[in-house]
Chain A
Amino acid sequence: MNKLSSLQEAIAGEIHDGMSVVMGCGLESLIPFAAGYEIIRQKKKDLTLIAPISDMQFDQIIGAGCVKKVIAAWVGNVAAGLGHNFRRAAEEGIPHPIEVEDHSNFTIALALKAAAMGLPFLPTKTAAGSDFSRAGNFKPVSCPFSGEELLAVRAIKPDVAILHVQRADPEGNAHIWGNLGVVVEAARAAKKVILTCEEIVDHEVILSDPNRTLIQGFLVSSVVHEPFASHPSPTQGYARRDDDFYFDYHKESRTREGFERWLEKWVLGVKDHKEYLSRIGKEMVRRLRPEGNLFSPSVSFNF
């Protein structure tokens, strides 16, 4: 089945007010920023955002007023520090209050893995003695065999996962390489998956390298061909990290007014991702593309 759609159609069709959305699953890379900007443009409301860390993406969506709750291990701007919008929302309720469910990187990955495995929870040894692990989404359990004390982490089943990948076929079978973060767990935990991808390839390309088909098309509901949709985050083989974009955002979002100007310039005053890329400029886009190739030799699947 051909699931190709535009980013506008995918967000309008799959993301509804009040839903829970997991995104930013590769950690600092493969962050679907373009999809986040589209969520802001479509003025979605009362979303629950889920990720281990989201780099500055969650800060943007919180500042735009689309978020009711964040479930995360870390919210900020990895290279620059604190997230100013996250702070304003959590401390002063600006633009409105948000609820925060704290995790560690390991516990949120386990929560998604539990849902991906169809389990209500998974046990772990991590986070014992941490104050955040006393919240309601964690419970002490003992091993039924040895009696050992463990921590149960409640499963998280998001309504939608939005994932940026290197290449996919029109059915949503996707090849991904590089660091994987919680991409695979999120794709299997969520009820629906939206992919944005650098390249659309033939099904034959997918079949040529099945170990790399980390997301299967039967999990996916929309496939969006949107090169550079992870900007400013990197996509291995396709896009470098635009470090200055993060530092500029950090400076400009220091005040609410500064953030509103940033939002107008890069999101609200921009029609779509193509116009966003033209604002970044051809020269910058060229600089962010890796030069040349670093191929691995192909492997034989012959029989």
Chain B
Amino acid sequence: MVVAAAREIRDGEKVFVGMRLPLLGFAVAKELHAPSAIGIFENGVIRDWPALEPIFTMSDPPNVARSLYCGGLLDVMSLLQSGQVDLGFIGGAEVDRFGNLNTHWVEESGKKIRLPGSGGAADIATLARRCIIIMNHEKRRFRPRVHFITSPGYGEGGDWRQMKHIHGGGPSRVITSLGIFSFDPASGEMLLGFFHPGVTVEEIRGETGWPLRVSGDLRETPPPSPEELAAVRKYDPKGVWTANG
């Protein structure tokens, strides 16, 4: 998943990095194919090189020291709102077939469970030129319809985003623990494009809560190259973020 995230970052792009896996994906991309990518963090930090010590939050001192810029949340959110951020990474507790994400509340056995909320996810989902969703692939998370839209994808499909006056381009990919999806440009529906090595399409169908749609040129995800693996090890030497693949 880290390597798949890294491959989405193009050289020279300005990226709202987020935390955990995307943070490592950003470091790997910088090391290999996107040396000029810029990382932007919601706390106001902008970096042109990855933090060399592993960190748990974007405000950890190794992510602040020797950064390119330190400012406030409104500074970096204004870059996002003015259309200058190419790409942002987001995740959630639930996603549906139109790429809508929920991090507010879910229901399990009739009981409401309160989740932490949006953070900056709704901002990235509505303002970034494109965004990438990273999720563990489980049936209870891949629901026909999310309980609550925290971070809108393509809403109810079609031209929903235009009707809601949403400026950002919307989700371009969903990277899961089992495969990689893109979106059908007309309907806004998720299309399976890649299955990870060792995973079958049937398995993915079984963990997806709606009738799975598969792209015409469905392929296996190219496995990580030795260079990609070496870069992951460099930035996550203890396997803190990559112990489970």
Contacts and interface: CB of A to CB of B under 8 A. Distances in A.
Interface of A: 26-29, 52-53, 55, 72-76, 78-79, 82-83, 86-87, 90-91, 100, 102-107, 109-110, 113, 124-133, 148-150, 177-185, 233-234, 236-237, 240-241, 243, 246, 290, 294
Contact of A128 (B59, B77, B148, B165): B165
B104 A102 contact: yes
B71 A180 contact: yes
Contact of A126 (B44, B71, B115, B126): B126
Interface string B56-73: 111111001110001111
27 contacts: A26-B43, A27-B42, A27-B57, A29-B43, A52-B73, A73-B118, A73-B119, A74-B118, A75-B116, A75-B117, A76-B116, A87-B114, A91-B112, A91-B114, A106-B73, A110-B74, A125-B127, A126-B127, A129-B155, A130-B118, A130-B126, A131-B149, A131-B150, A132-B117, A150-B165, A243-B56, A294-B65
Contacts of B104: 102, 131-132
Contacts of B126: 125-130
Interface of B: 19, 41-45, 56-61, 64-66, 70-74, 77, 80-81, 104, 111-123, 125-127, 148-152, 155, 160-161, 164-167
B74 A102 contact: no
B132 to A, nearest CB: 18
Contacts of A130: 118, 122, 125-126, 149-152
Contacts of A150: 165
Nearest to B148: A131
Contacts of B117: 72-75, 102-103, 132
A103 B73 contact: no
Nearest to A122: B74
Nearest to B67: A179
Contacts of B119: 52-53, 73-74, 104-105
Contacts, number: 191
A182 B73 contact: yes
Given A27-B58, A129-B166, A83 B116 contact: yes
Given A179-B43, A180-B71, A127 B59 contact: no
B56 A127 contact: no
Contacts of A87: 113-114
B139 to A, nearest CB: 21
In the A-B complex, the 6 residue pairs with the smallest Cβ-Cβ separation, listed nearest first, are: A76-B116, A28-B59, A29-B59, A129-B152, A28-B57, A129-B164
Contact of B45 (A55, A104, A109, A179): A179
Nearest to A182: B73
Nearest to B154: A129
Given A73-B118, A129-B166, A130-B122, A28 B41 contact: no
A185 B166 contact: no
A237 B66 CA distance: 12
A149 B166 CA distance: 9
A28 B166 CA distance: 29
A104 B122 contact: yes
Contacts of B127: 125-126
Nearest to A151: B165
B123 A28 contact: no
Given A105-B77, A182-B74, A294-B66, 5 more contacts: A26-B59, A52-B119, A127-B118, A128-B166, A236-B64
A252 B126 CA distance: 37
B57 A78 contact: yes
Nearest to A237: B61
A101 to B, nearest CB: 10
A241 B122 contact: no
Nearest to A124: B81
A129 B161 contact: yes
B72 A234 contact: no
Contact of A181 (B43, B56, B161, B165): B43
Nearest to A72: B117
A79 B23 CA distance: 13
Contacts of A73: 117-120
Contact of A179 (B44, B114, B160, B161): B44
B184 to A, nearest CB: 19
A171 to B, nearest CB: 23
Given A126-B123, A180-B44, A185 B64 contact: no
A126 B120 CA distance: 10
A239 to B, nearest CB: 8
Which of A27, A75, A106 has the most CB atoms of chain B within a 10 A radius of its CB?
A106
A113 B81 CA distance: 16
